[in-house]
Amino acid sequence: MSKKIGWIGTGVMGGAMAGHLMTAGYELRVYTRSREKAVDLLDRGACWCTSPAEAADGADFVGVMVGFPEDVEEVFLGEHGVLSTVKAGAVIADFTTRSPALAQRIAAVADERGVGSLVAPVSGGDVGAQNASLSIMIGGDPAVFEQARPVFEAIGKTLVLQGPAGSGQHTKMVNQVVVASTMIGICEALIYARRAGLDPVRVLDSIGGGAATSWGLVNLYPRMLKEDYLPGFYVEHFVKDMGIALEECMRMNIELPGLKLASELYGKLVEMGHGRDGTQALILALDALNA
Amino acid sequence: MSKKIGWIGTGVMGGAMAGHLMTAGYELRVYTRSREKAVDLLDRGACWCTSPAEAADGADFVGVMVGFPEDVEEVFLGEHGVLSTVKAGAVIADFTTRSPALAQRIAAVADERGVGSLVAPVSGGDVGAQNASLSIMIGGDPAVFEQARPVFEAIGKTLVLQGPAGSGQHTKMVNQVVVASTMIGICEALIYARRAGLDPVRVLDSIGGGAATSWGLVNLYPRMLKEDYLPGFYVEHFVKDMGIALEECMRMNIELPGLKLASELYGKLVEMGHGRDGTQALILALDALNA
């Protein structure tokens, strides 16, 4: 893999990931919807492009990290999309979480043009993106993954090829299914602790090291105590992910009542105006339920 | 604190805890419902007693670890109960999880007789009991706790005085509230992973180190994969704990929908005949829901 990378999407996650690629010595061609979100990268010498097509032009690897599935379709398949210019033999990788069906359509077009494609959603949030400690759940061809491995190694710590196209997305859905109910448990615990007159900090001293512990309890519960709702991971993105997971459940004919409950509670949270807060804001929906 | 301990209840948890006390050099007087469950301790030199009263007679500290609230009442307040013989100045500690109301009744009787009382439910399961790495959530008087601290240090790692009588029980309830929804998330993840055709072991490689991770994911998900439902922590005890938590919620006028869902799913699991399995058997209730 040579050194030219096209990168689309420089939000909380994408910006940090692109930064690691520059640190690793890659030459970056950057496109993102709002140029001001790319200034840090441009200051460091990245080249500004005015479309995904321009960013992909001449690149050996094109990475995409945007918020919503609609955007992904436009970015890859639109008139000025990545696949209108990317060269044969290059690898495109979509780090966005979206439906397995869209993944397959993009893979088919890429394949026709001799372009390798990987779908590689990530987990680990803002902290993981900043520390290059993301878990990357990869779906695609093993040879294509090996070709792109150095790029992945610059941005993530846990790199697992889960299987063919779609597997990475499904694995990310599994991740979100776990997180969904875990977040409910953490918020309900805080509601209970407060109403029972306990000191919620001392409670964490007792339960944070045992059978109740989780990433969320250690990392997000303290933010809830401080009423710090800064994202981390946006509520509205989590709601989107759970929507995809529920659609897939319907397709696979399975019922996951915990996921359904979490989706309803987070939906309420969006209605309350907290879509751009971090997922720990779920405590506000449970507070409202118990007001 | 001198060296004579009365110990009641030698099941999975209580037996291991009593063993650590013998290792620490305490002289043990043991009572449990089925003598054969105490043979290991008796072989090591513990003294067999035929009632809680006999075990408590002359002891400086009396520990109780039995399964159900009804048992706790009988053990402490019954005709041949601990409080009929225990000497003034001793400390009694109940490690059982039960309702805060019962805790207060026992504390009142103990107080009348000049006996210090602590309610100290534990978390950490069979592994925690075996490694003396339990988290012990203590409610009671600080001076009484200091008097008994050496005993607690022999069986647990995380010792936190949560506040007055009742606080330990409430903290344990908080622990169970977290675990309840976390377990749903883990089981639903496995259902999803299997239906989507993923390799559930490889999935754990991807999600086990990130935002989805929890004690249950790391410790119980692998047991689910092996269809190993040995307890750990009995389903029927967890159902009892959730029942107490839901009663307390009603009393405090709070609604915890995740806890309610978990209680229903685990209730179904008991109906299916899995009350004496470990809590990881919850996957069977979700399998049944999706059969």
In this prediction, residue B2 carries a pLDDT of: 59
- Does A4 qualify as catalytic in the annotation? no
Count of A–B CB contacts within 8 Å? 260
Burial code (b: 16+ CB inside 10 Å, e: under 16) for A223-240 equals bbbeeebebbbbbbbbbb
- CB contact under 8 Å between A210 and B256, yes or no, is no
- The pLDDT score that the predictor gives to residue A207 is 95
From A37, A172, A226, A240, active-site residue: A172
Per-residue pLDDT of chain A (291 residues; tens, 9 = 90+): 558 999 999 998 899 999 999 999 999 999 999 999 999 999 999 999 999 999 999 999 999 999 766 788 899 999 999 999 999 999 999 998 877 778 888 999 999 999 999 999 998 877 888 999 999 999 999 999 999 999 999 999 999 999 998 899 999 999 999 999 999 999 999 999 999 999 999 999 999 988 899 999 999 999 999 999 998 889 999 999 999 999 999 999 999 999 999 999 999 999 999 999 999 999 999 999 999
Q: Are B163 and A198 in contact (CB under 8 A)?
A: yes
Residues A188, B181: C-beta atoms closer than 8 Å: yes
- Binary contact (A160, B196; C-beta < 8 A): no
Q: Give the amino acid at B190.
A: L
Q: Are strands A122-123 and B122-123 parallel, antiparallel or unpaired?
A: unpaired
Its ipTM equals 0.91
pLDDT tier for residue B99 given thresholds of 50, 70 and 90: confident
- For residues B212 and A215, the answer to whether their CB atoms sit within 8 Å is yes
Tell me: the pLDDT tens digits for B186-234? 999 999 999 999 999 999 999 998 889 999 999 999 999 999 999 888 9
Q: Are A200 and A210 in contact (CB under 8 A)?
A: no
C-beta atoms of B182 and A181 within 8 A: yes
Residue in A123, A181, A197 nearest the CB of B207 = A123
Residues of B in contact with A196 (CB under 8 A): 167, 170, 173-174, 248, 252
pLDDT at A1: 53
Higher pLDDT, B267 or A124: B267
Partner residue opposite A198 with nearest CB, options B128, B171, B195? B171
More confident residue, B118 or B68: B118
**Picking from A100-104, B7-11, B89-93, B257-261, which range would have the lowest pLDDT averaged per residue?**
A100-104
SS (H, E, C) chain B: CCCEEEEECCCHHHHHHHHHHHHCCCEEEEECCCHHHHHHHHHCCCEECCCHHHHHCCCCEEEECCCCHHHHHHHHHCCCCHHHCCCCCCEEEECCCCCHHHHHHHHHHHHHCCCEEEECCEECHHHHHHCCCEEEEEECCHHHHHHHHHHHHHHEEEEEEEECCCHHHHHHHHHHHHHHHHHHHHHHHHHHHHHCCCCHHHHHHHHCCCCCCEHHHHHCHHHHHCCCCCCCCEHHHHHHHHHHHHHHHHHHCCCCHHHHHHHHHHHHHHHCCCCCCEHHHHHHHHHHHCC
Residue B67: the pLDDT is 74
Write the residue in B181, B252, B261 that is nearest to A195 by C-beta.
Answer: B252
pTM higher than 0.95: no
Per DSSP bridges, beta strands B134-139 and B122-123 are: antiparallel
pLDDT of residue A127: 81
**Chain A residues in contact with B196 (beta carbon < 8 A):** 167, 170, 173-174, 248, 252
List the domains of chain B with CATH numbers.
4-164 (3.40.50.720), 170-289 (1.10.1040.10)
Helix axis angle, A257-271 to A167-195, nearest 10°: 70
- The answer to whether B189 contacts A167, with C-beta atoms less than 8 Å apart, is no
**pLDDT tens profile B27-37:** 999 999 999 99
* 3-state class (DSSP) for residue A291: coil
Q: How far is B205 from chain A (nearest CA, A)?
A: 7
| Chain A residues touching residue B254 (CB < 8 angstroms) | 191-192, 195, 290
Q: Shortest Cα distance from B53 to chain A (angstroms)?
A: 32
Q: Do A188 and B256 touch (CB under 8 A)?
A: yes
